[in-house]
A = this chain, B = another copy of it.
Amino acid sequence: MKYGKKIVALAGGVGGAKLADGLAQCLEPDELAIIVNTGDDLEHLGLSISPDLDTVCYTLAELANPDSGWGRDQESWRTLEEIKKLQGPDWFAIGDLDLATHLERTRRLREGQTLSEITAHFCRRWGIHVPIFPMSDTPVRTYVHCQDGRCLAFQEYFVKYHFEPQIRSIEFENMKNAVVPEKALTALKNADFVLFCPSNPFVSIDPIIQIEAVGSIIAQKKVIAVSPLIGGEALKGPAAKMFHELGMKPGSSAVADHYRAILDLFVLDHKDEAQIALIEGWGIICKALDIFMPDRPARKRLAGQILKILDEQT
């Protein structure tokens, strides 16, 4: 059944992928487009790896590891084990199935295809009908400046050092040279709503919306964000820890505050209902739902509830 309005969802890693999947379960392919953070991308073992893009694609294709949320279901680790024996770098976990994605992506990039062309091809092969776009066809790279003076590429910070270093600030390299895929810009322009999935604001959503071509369109749009925090804690990853280290008390209201200038509507968990008044005081409509998505039906349920709320706003 047609929803009748067009949504563009911005997503980062596991949490964002789950809501994107929920939306894909509720909407027709021409009513939804997903733009994914590529600031976390890395070159590793000579391979061009796009962790967030893969997480979103694997999730929508029902190929993702249901326990971890990232990587492939039914994965094996034979190549990585051998690389370890040869004393190669093994800190970034690449399974045998996942490896095919990186090898073939890298091969096609070298052939001259763009990341968005390759992603579209992979989506066709994986049976994904919703358009999924990388935020940029050129490399934009997230760096974490640590309080100890180190500057770490995001995956080093995140995977190699288990996001243990305390952060001072975050920087997006080559953001000014970002090339947003034309079709992603068109989808944004045609969108009735832009939805920030429950992803890390600093390293998943910010890299997308700080691209000028994206930000300038979003400024004209109705923007909805779903909190990535429940009870002041991230379900996964360093979001809450980052709020602390950047001098803010982690919580849903801090997320809403972060997006304040562009936010029209905010969805938080029932557990955080006490923060609604504060957020609505900023002129942002705020709704409480059960935003925890432990399984596929829960993703659809949450997406459906959000779409219903959006429908009521218009």
Contact = CB atoms under 8 A, between A and B. Distances in A.
Contacts of A2: none
Interface in A65-120: 76, 78-83, 85-89, 96-97, 99-101, 103-104, 106-107, 110
B76 A96 contact: yes
A56 to B, nearest CB: 17
**Residue with the greatest number of chain B CB neighbours at <10 A, chosen from A99, A100, A106:** A100
A88 B104 contact: yes
A149 interface: no
A292 interface: no
A88 B101 CA distance: 10
B107 A45 contact: yes
A80 B99 CA distance: 9
A45 to B, nearest CB: 5
A100 B83 CA distance: 5
A258 interface: no
Q: How often does this chain occur in the complex, in copies?
A: 2
A86 B101 contact: yes
A192 B124 CA distance: 61
A85 B46 contact: no
A46 B106 contact: yes
Chain A at the B interface: SS class = helix
A85 to B, nearest CB: 6
A122 interface: yes
A170 to B, nearest CB: 28
A82 B106 CA distance: 14
Given A78-B78, A103-B79, A85 B45 contact: no
B107 A82 contact: no
A121 interface: yes
A86 B99 contact: no
Given A46-B106, A96-B96, A122 B86 contact: yes
Interface in A249-272: none
Contacts of A88: 100, 103-104, 107
**Residue with the greatest number of chain B CB neighbours at <10 A, chosen from A83, A85, A104:** A104
Contacts of A46: 46-47, 103, 106-107, 110
Given A46-B46, A82-B99, A89-B107, 10 more contacts: A45-B103, A46-B107, A79-B103, A83-B103, A85-B100, A85-B125, A87-B121, A87-B125, A88-B103, A96-B96
17 contacts: A46-B46, A46-B103, A46-B107, A46-B110, A47-B103, A78-B97, A79-B100, A82-B101, A83-B104, A85-B100, A86-B101, A86-B104, A86-B121, A86-B122, A87-B121, A88-B107, A96-B96
